[in-house]
Amino acid sequence: MAGCGCNNQEFDGTSKEYRRALWWVIAINAFMFIIEMGASFQASSQALQADALDFLGDTATYSLSLLVIGHSLQIRNKAALLKAASLLLMGLGVLGMTIYRVVVMQTPIALTMGSIGALAFSANIISVLILLRFRDGDANVRSVWLCSRNDAIGNLAVILAAAGVWQTQSAWPDLLVAVIMASLFIWSSVQIFQQVKQSSTEDFDTSCQK
C-alpha cells in the first residue's frame, strides 16, 4: 500500500481512513446477513445460507480487526488466528450442512437465489472498492481483504448456482457451490495461519537480534 511501506514494515491499520473504511464495511455486512439469511430459508438454498454465514462471520471479524488496531503485533496476530479459526469452523460447518442437504434433497427457488445473490454481490463489490487501497498489510489487515474478496467470489458463485438450479430444476448446482465456498473459507484460513506464523517468526528473529 502506498505510503505504508517506507520502512519495510507491514501496514497495521493505524489510520483514520482505514478505521472509517472498516465501519462502512461492518455496516454493509451486518445488513446483508439479515437479508440473506432470511432469503436462504425462504429459498431453501444452502449456497445462500453459506453466503449469509460468511456475512455474519465478516461482521464479527471486521469488528475484531477494528478493536485490535494499534495494539502489539502479538495481539494482532492472535486476532488474526481467531479469524482464521472462525473461517475454518465456518467452512467445516458449511460442508456438514451440505452433506445433510444431500440426504434431505430439496430444490431451491432459483429466482430468490439469483436476485439475492446479485444484491449481495453489489454490496460486496462496494466493500471491496472501499478496502482496495488497504489490501496489503499485516495478517490482521490482510485477513479483512481476504474475507471481502471471498465474499465477492462467493456471490458470483451463488448467481451461477441459481442459473444452474433454474436450468436443471435440481439442487445439485446449489450444493456444489456451497462446497466450493466452504473450500474457499478453509483455504483462506490456511493462508492467514501461514502469514501469522511467518510474522511471528520474523518478530522473534528481530527480538533476538536486539
pLDDT score of 194 = 83
pTM attached to this predicted model? 0.72
Q: Provide φ and ψ at 12, rounded to 5°.
A: -105, 10
Residue 82: alpha-carbon gap to chain centroid: 13
Assigned CATH for 16-209: 1.20.1510
**pLDDT at residue 29 above 90?**
yes
pLDDT tens, position by position, 56-107: 888 887 888 788 777 777 887 777 788 788 888 888 888 888 887 777 767 8
- CB atoms near residue 2 (< 10 Å): 8
Q: How far is CA 131 from CA 79, 136, 137, 197, in A?
A: 19, 10, 12, 24
Q: What is the pLDDT of residues 135-187, one digit of tens each?
A: 676 666 776 777 777 778 778 889 999 999 999 988 899 989 888 888 888 88
User: Cα-atom radius of gyration of the chain, to the nearest Å?
Assistant: 18
Query: Cell numbers 455486512 correspond to what residue?
Result: 29
Between CA 32 and CA 51 the distance in angstroms is 10
